[in-house]
Structure 1
């Protein structure tokens, strides 16, 4: 059972990395910012960063 748990953790670790990276990108991007606040990552670039990150996690 302990071996199975270790194997399951390794198989699901990518999802933790994926969710945390999406949280960081959403915080730095322009998602639901109040008026007059400029994002750290402009619109369009955040989409590109998400796509690159998804490919990195996939491969």
Structure 2
């Protein structure tokens, strides 16, 4: 890959965000880090949920 063609970054350029946008990145980054750490647990929980014999009971509309 040449210097002029770089792979896209996973993180947005924070300089392109307003001060409010930059402030909001902290909780978003924390949520993303949690999701990455818990990926296997979430996958297992989904599999257990999908393997249930009875479908979930429909909820009444609010």
Return the TM-score normalized by structure 2: 0.36
More helix by share: 1
Q: Which has the larger radius of gyration?
A: 2
Higher RCO, Cα 8 Å, sep 6+? 1
